[in-house]
Structure 1
Amino acid sequence: MMVKKEKFDFCTVCRKNTEYTLQKRNIIKIIKGKEYTFSITSAVCNECGKEMGIPGLIDKNIQEVDEQYRTYEGIVSIEDIEKLMKIYKIGKGPLSLALGFGEVTITRYLSGQIPSKEYSNDIRAALSSPTYMKKKLYENKDKIAPAAYSKSINAAVQLENLFSVSDKMLRVIFHVFKKLDEVTPLMLQKLLYFIQGVSYALNGKPMFFENCQAWVHGPVYPEVYDMFRDFKYNPIEDVRFAIFGGTEDELTEDEQGVIDLVVNTFGEYGGKALEKITHSETPWKDARKGYEDGIPSHEPLSMESIKSYYVEKNAIYDFSSEVGLKKYIREILR
């Protein structure tokens, strides 16, 4: 497969500067007695068709082989280790000691040394489970400086608080974060509500089982509000959600389809516009009956009312396509 850019360098066969194209080719390597096939990048002369040695290509090939080998063997990547350090606010030495490794082990791994399967599994477990990381921190507390221990254990406790909502809710939120560059807490709340409604309309069932409430500024999932309240009106930048990287694949194709439809339509608007849409919809208005504007409420916004409303509107607009959803949004905002 060709890479877009074509460049020039010296071809040792043509004995002159020629244009070359980057292509992918497969190579076979034997590592520890086991055969592997790796896809690497090569530079091919556009005139003679022979491979060329261009600056930086050998380093790129080494990196390609390294990444693919780690994938083959289920070994954590350097990026995974850096992610772990960010999530738990911990340095290389303290992380090594917390996991029960030698003090310079993580430093060596960040420099390119490949971890053993056992150590890789420990790193992966810490990356995917704050409970496991807490356990390792407790076990090795005496080896770590008090300040480093305190910072990391607090991060682990905060991360555990994420699990006050269901795994499904977490995966939906991660998928939204992955699709949109900037999401404020207000915007996230409304997108979750629309995802729930469109899921009822298209799949006949809720996306998740958390209940929302009719607050002054529209539907709100209280547990999600607590998770991100510190961001106020600012875009959410939360490294903790890195632990769910890849888990969005555990959403079904239909579920991902619903999220993508909502993100590609409602996600084009800011939080205030989305709030205005929810204020025009029957579920929120019915739940807020008896409350004057600006008066706080925490009335439940029933799943049945969301389902009924979105099934009805789907019959009119056809929410299975972006065209139908955009038409609905435009008419509400008009």
Structure 2
Amino acid sequence: MTTMKLQKLVYYCQAWHLVRTKQAMFEDRIEAWPQGPVVKSLFLKHRGQLLVGAWPGDARNLDVEERATLDWVHQKYGKLSAESLSGMTHIESPWKNARGLSGPEEKSSEEITKEQIHHYYARQVVDPEQAVAYAAANAAIEGVEFDDDWQAVLRSVANSTVSPDDAIRAEIERALRT
């Protein structure tokens, strides 16, 4: 794995652990560098390396909740490239706010605080019923009505009982039959 990808995955672990448990996964400072969020203490362990040669910690030191967060982040973000992850952080407010008026390549050591991270990512979480209601309302604004069957499918995706890919595949098959 590249060091840049590791940095972004560690950032997302911190973010989602804060949301899930209201506790920091680690106390190290996260800075708003041009390439996205960076844990400087971790950067110093891999300085000058493109690829991570050795993990500086021991996974056995993680508690159950930390391991669950790590596994969840790996499942959700692990397939993305370092560049994609960096691009995602660039459109999210914690990094943008910490960067302030800094230019795209301008160095910055401004901290992305745990409070900023928690505030932003906690707003990304919504219960399944609200998610379906928001989706239906947004579709209605666009002139599309979600029937009860499609809302049930959306509810299954929101509850993680059906993957988005499977839901789309089933809807395409349903549309082809009619």
Report if TM-score (shorter chain) is over 0.5: yes
Aligned with residue 213 of structure 1, among 31, 34, 48: 31
Residue 306 of structure 1 corresponds to which residue in structure 2? 117
1:249 to partner: Cα distance = 2.9
1:315 to partner: Cα distance = 2.6
Q: Distance in 1 between matches of 2:86 and 2:116?
A: 18
What amino acid sits opposite 2:29 in the alignment?
N
Q: Which has the larger radius of gyration?
A: 1
Q: Secondary structure at the match of 1:291?
A: coil
Residue 39 of structure 1 corresponds to which residue in structure 2? none
1:316 to partner: Cα distance = 6.5
Gapped regions of structure 2 (runs ≥ 5): 132-157, 165-178
Aligned-pair identity in percent equals 26
Runs of 4+ in 1 over 4 A off after TM superposition: none
Residue 190 of structure 1 corresponds to which residue in structure 2? 8
Q: Distance in 1 between matches of 2:43 and 2:125?
A: 28
Q: Distance in 2 between matches of 1:249 and 1:303?
A: 24
Name the TM-score, length of structure 2 as normaliser.
0.68
Q: Deviations over 1:145-185 (max 9, x none)?
A: xxxxxxxxxxxxxxxxxxxxxxxxxxxxxxxxxxxxxx111
1:248 to partner: Cα distance = 2.3
Residue 152 of structure 2 corresponds to which residue in structure 1? none
Greater relative contact order: 1 or 2 (C-alpha under 8 angstroms, separation 6 or more)? Answer: 2
Name the TM-score, length of structure 1 as normaliser.
0.37
Residue 200 of structure 1 corresponds to which residue in structure 2? 18
Q: Is the 1:265–1:322 contact (alpha carbons within 8 Å) kept by the matching residues of 2?
A: no
Q: Distance in 2 between matches of 1:316 and 1:222?
A: 35
Q: Does 1:262 align with 2:73?
A: yes
Q: Distance in 1 between matches of 2:159 and 2:85?
A: 16
- Are residues 266 and 205 of structure 1, via their aligned partners in 2, closer, same or farther at CA, if it must alter by over 3 Å? same
Q: Secondary structure at the match of 2:124?
A: helix
Q: Is the 1:261–1:322 contact (alpha carbons within 8 Å) kept by the matching residues of 2?
A: no
Q: Distance in 2 between matches of 1:228 and 1:207?
A: 20
- Size of the aligned set, in residue pairs, is 135
Q: Secondary structure at the match of 2:121?
A: helix
Aligned with residue 230 of structure 1, among 34, 38, 48: 48
Q: Distance in 2 between matches of 1:250 and 1:292?
A: 39
1:227 to partner: Cα distance = 0.6
What amino acid sits opposite 2:120 in the alignment?
Y
- Are residues 309 and 227 of structure 1, via their aligned partners in 2, closer, same or farther at CA, if it must alter by over 3 Å? same
1:230 to partner: Cα distance = 2.4
Q: Distance in 2 between matches of 1:192 and 1:294?
A: 22
Q: Distance in 1 between matches of 2:112 and 2:63?
A: 26
Aligned with residue 274 of structure 1, among 85, 90, 93: 85
Q: Is the 1:199–1:205 contact (alpha carbons within 8 Å) kept by the matching residues of 2?
A: yes
Q: Distance in 1 between matches of 2:93 and 2:28?
A: 19
Q: Secondary structure at the match of 1:301?
A: coil
308-317 or 207-216, which moves further after superposition? 308-317
1:322 to partner: Cα distance = 10
- Are residues 307 and 230 of structure 1, via their aligned partners in 2, closer, same or farther at CA, if it must alter by over 3 Å? same
What amino acid sits opposite 1:264 in the alignment?
Q
292-301 or 190-199, which moves further after superposition? 292-301
1:293 to partner: Cα distance = 1.6
Q: Distance in 2 between matches of 1:228 and 1:272?
A: 18
Q: Distance in 2 between matches of 1:274 and 1:257?
A: 20
What amino acid sits opposite 2:98 in the alignment?
A
1:291 to partner: Cα distance = 1.1
Within-5 A mapping of 1:1-334: 183-232=1-50, 235-238=51-54, 241=56, 247-315=58-126
